[in-house]
Structure 1
Amino acid sequence: MTDSSAPGNPSSTAVIVLGAGIVGVSTALALQQRGHAVCLVDRQAPGRATSYGNCGILQREAVRPYAFPRDWQALLRVATGQGNDVHYHLRALPALVPALARYWHASAPARYAGTVAAYSALIRHCLDEHAPWIARAGAQDLVRHDGWLEAYRSEAEFDAAARDATAVAADHALDHALLDRAALHQAEPALRDVLAGAIHWRDPWTVSDPGELVARYAALFERQGGTFCHGDAATLRASGSGWQVSTADGTVEAAQAVIALGPWAADLTTRLGYRLPLFVKRGYHRHYAAEAMPSKPVLDAENGVLLVPMRQGLRVTTGAEFAHRDAPPTPVQSGRAEQIAAQMVRLGAPVEAQPWMGARPCIADMLPVVGRAPRHSGLWFHFGHGHQGLTLGPATARLLAELFDGDATYVDAAPYDPRRFGD
């Protein structure tokens, strides 16, 4: 047997990390910087799946995760297909009901307050955890530091959102500005005059190519001696006192394994006997060759459509679609998003022939799963980041690496422990 600490040797290593999205790549980097030999395994190149298709915002302001609507008007709006922020496949609902029921339960105000406390404890560190990797990966050209705009069409909606934003900013030490119609037009002349105002969240950073950022993090990992192998996580098996997985470079064996598979995590954890309340929200985006783009992301908050200036063009993203993860794409939200976006900017021709579709890995209590698997020695869980995988990947990777080494953790790890769902 070869030295388990030898870098660059995929046949025998200290840790296997399954999944090369932002969470998996961050896990590999965090363990590597603590001296562990790591083999990162995925069927695709790093950053090509869920991490490729997102809004590209490191959301320092996102101290509150998306809660399940509690008022009947919001629920009726979703049920009747009004708006574009939520869409659902009726045939998928029976399978989703148990997780959605727990999601609704966790969103009750008293419970949600505790969730916000735990969630914001991680969010406040997101930029600090990304910053050194951005520098070491040579990714500064992908990142801007001027925030994003949460915009509203209705004066009344803008006024209500502005009051809420001011309170949240005060509670969580966030920097923001309120732009009325005139100030918004002056700041973003590419926008047509259909928006009543916007909240400018100033703390967040924006990424012009999220998939490329993940790829550069992965390249940093490999330059530092880490190994990436193409392989299928479904082949993971217990092997003696450790784990093994089949890859294009042969079987990789390790004492420890981390499941960081995002929306595919349930495939493996269910086979291992776990029943975690993980479900997916699908989303779509498409790039357009806009004549002029806003300088920063702009969310049409009342319609759930986000315009993001990217290297590929102006990315138009949709809200959430509740459906089976692998069901064929449906054009409902992406078609509406194009129409809504065209009211705000001159879109130009689409860059891709068809919209991109991906899935977000969501946990019913809105907190990621980070920690040791309850019933399997040497197995770790790191997934369930919902809408904030890009934002939180390095922050939760640091937490997992500290737990992995038995060190004191920089935030309380209990809220994210897999054992909160039982053994």
Structure 2
Amino acid sequence: MARTDVVVLGAGAVGVSVALHLRARGLSVALLDRGPPGEGTSFGNAGVIEGSALLPVGFPRDIPVLLRHALKLSSESNYQIASLPGFAPWLLSYFAASSPKGLEATARDLRPLLDVARAEHHALAGPAGAMGLLTPTGWVKLYRTERQFSKTAAERALADDLKVAYSVLDTEAACTLEPALRPVFDAAIHWHDCDNCSDPGGLVKAYAGLLEQRGGLLIQGDARTLRRQGGGWRVETASGPVDADEAVVCLGPWSLDVLRPLGLPLPLAPKRGYHVHLAPEGGMTLGRALVDVAYGYALQNTRYGIRLTTGVEFAGVESRSSPVQIHRDVPRARELLPLGAVRESEPWLGRRPAFPDSKPVIGPAPGIGGLHLAFGHGHWGLTLGPVTGRLLAEMMTGATPFTDPAPFAPTRFGARAAQRT
């Protein structure tokens, strides 16, 4: 039997970062996952560390747009009909939080984290020897029509207010920035405060390697075995039980598998997404990620090829794969860039863990002593991993948090654990 100060459950971008920050504050740490670090949702994202992120992806309010989503005519989203009844309460809350005022409030709450997100990554990537995976060239959102671009007025006004840097580009300027682009769009916005990552899974693995160098333990086990042991926690691993004074849940969409038995339900849902890699033709490469806003997919230059990452699919965590969005988006991507064959026989499927208000939970589990939560980052898990680790570690060690953690408290949902712990 092993003993440690803290066991961190989940070795994605968030869990590895939490473990590193706790270790840096002198705590002994074991990082547990059922597989190697960085091979879950953290592997398959769009590869952008979005310091300039603003408005979260909201539930559509425009009636024609809403109808296209409902009729499954838009590749920005998809849903599996059998899963909808289980999603209904979450979708109603998501709709309520997606008002213009609600999205702006979320953007303002997240701004202190996003302002330092890149710096916190660099503080880990440097010692981990992974700065070569990051390129500080920002990313570009493309608008097929002037009408689509005109809808960005509120977002640009908010960026101006929060001093988030961007440049508006016409077609010619965007094609100068990215010479491989074909001029099939009318306008673009270049968001400057972003790092592009050529291997998100590799970045997380490098952070995990840094944790081991600094004395942290990587262990394989089933987080669902977490239970009370004396005044602390015990979890079963491949090499025997591990006891810890405190535990941190960073399991993304699987976090509720641990929390429900402890009597703590939270309104978490998986926003599933797919990716494939396409072969660039004629030596083509991208200097930064692109988003085709009309269709909701992103393109990124990675070590595997040009990664196409889809919008959102609403389906159960373990529901069958239904990559209709990939089939729609690949031809549209070929309109923009000279892209060849898809390199995978089957698209990769990931699950973005999301709360209805598009903010993560970061902080102590209500009503359960010694248990802490850090999950639900939605589309920004890679971006916010290191800064989440810093904030939670400050809270757990009694340091003054660098920003007010109240917007991310689990208690904002009225959650309180039943007395089953």
- TM beyond 0.5: yes
- AA paired with 2:39? R
Once the two structures are superposed, what CA deviation does each residue of 1:328-364 show, in whole Å capped at 9, x if it has no partner?
1112111111111111112112222211000000011
Tell me which residue corresponds to 2:195.
205
Pick the aligned partner of 2:84 from 90, 93, 102.
Answer: 93
Q: 1:288 aligns with which of 278, 289, 304?
A: 278
2:174 maps to what in 1?
Answer: 184
1:4 is matched with which residue?
A: none
Partner in structure 2 of residue 6 of structure 1: none
* Structure 2 residue 371 is the aligned partner of structure 1 residue 384: no
Cα distance in 2, alignment partners of residues 122 and 380 from structure 1 = 19
Q: Matches of residues 73-84 of structure 1 in structure 2 within 5 Å? A: 73-84=64-75
1:22-421 matches, within 5 Å, as 22-161=13-152, 163-291=153-281, 292-421=284-413
Is the CA contact (8 Å cut-off) linking 2:122 and 2:131 kept in structure 1? no
Runs of 4+ in 1 over 6 A off after TM superposition: none
Q: For residues 231 and 219 of structure 2, what CA distance do their matches in structure 1 show?
A: 22
Aligned residues of 1:88 and 1:322 also touching (Cα < 8 A) = yes
| Residue in structure 2 matched with residue 15 of structure 1 by the alignment | 6
SS at match of 1:65: coil
Aligned partners of 2:101 and 2:329: how far apart in 1? 34
The CA deviation string for residues 48-87 of structure 1, in whole angstroms up to 9 with x for no partner, is 0000000111111112222222232221121011221111
Shift of 1:366: 1.5
SS in structure 1 at match of 2:295: coil
Residue identity over aligned pairs, in percent, reads: 44
Q: CA deviation at 1:165?
A: 4.7
CA distance in 1, matches of 2:400, 2:292: 42
Alignment-mate amino acid for residue 259 of structure 2: T
C-alpha contact 2:54 2:159 (8 A) present in aligned 1? no
1:381 maps to a residue whose letter is L
Secondary structure of 2:280's partner? Answer: coil
Asked whether the 8 Å contact 1:280–1:361 carries over to 2, the reply is yes
> Structure 2 vs 1, CA of residues 112 and 316 (structure 1 numbering), >3 Å: closer, same or farther?
closer
The answer for the alignment partner of 1:7 in structure 2 is none
Residues 218, 397 of structure 1: alpha-carbon distance in 2 compared, 3 angstrom cutoff: same
> Partner letter of residue 63 of structure 1?
L
Q: 1:174 offset after TM fit, Å?
A: 1.6
Give the aligned residue type for 1:209. D
Give 3-state SS (helix, strand or coil) of 1:136's partner: coil
Report the CA distance shift for 1:109/1:344 in structure 2 as closer, same or farther (over 3 A).
closer
For 1:191 and 1:305, how far apart are their aligned partners in 2? Answer: 15
AA aligned to 1:340 is R
Task: Compare 312-321 and 265-274 and name the one that shifted more.
Answer: 265-274
Unmatched runs of 5 consecutive residues or more in structure 1:
1-9
For residues 293 and 336 of structure 1, what CA distance do their matches in structure 2 show?
Answer: 22
How far apart are residue 164 of structure 1 and its match?
Answer: 4.0
What is the Cα deviation at residue 190 of structure 1? 1.1
Cα distance in 1 for partners of 2:288, 2:103 equals 30
Preserved CA contact (<8 Å) 2:183 2:336: yes
Q: Contact 2:178–2:287 (CA<8 Å) still a contact in 1?
A: yes
Hey, what's the Cα distance between the residues in 2 that align with 1:216 and 1:151? 32
Q: Distance in 2 between matches of 1:105 and 1:218?
A: 38
The alignment covers a number of residue pairs equal to 413
Q: CA deviation at 1:298?
A: 1.0
Aligned-residue offset at 1:159: 4.0
CA distance in 1, matches of 2:272, 2:225: 26
Q: Measure the CA separation in 2 of the matches of 1:266 and 1:177.
A: 41
Task: Determine the C-alpha separation between the residues in 1 that align with 2:336 and 2:367.
Answer: 52
C-alpha distance in 2 between matches for 1:165 and 1:308: 23
Look up the equivalent residue of 2:260 and give its one-letter code: T
Q: Is the 8 A contact 1:317 1:337 kept in 2?
A: no
TM-score by length of 1: 0.95
Q: How big is the alpha-carbon RMSD for the aligned residues of Structure 1 and Structure 2?
A: 1.3
SS at match of 1:366: coil
Q: 1:123 to 1:96 in 2, by over 3 A?
A: same
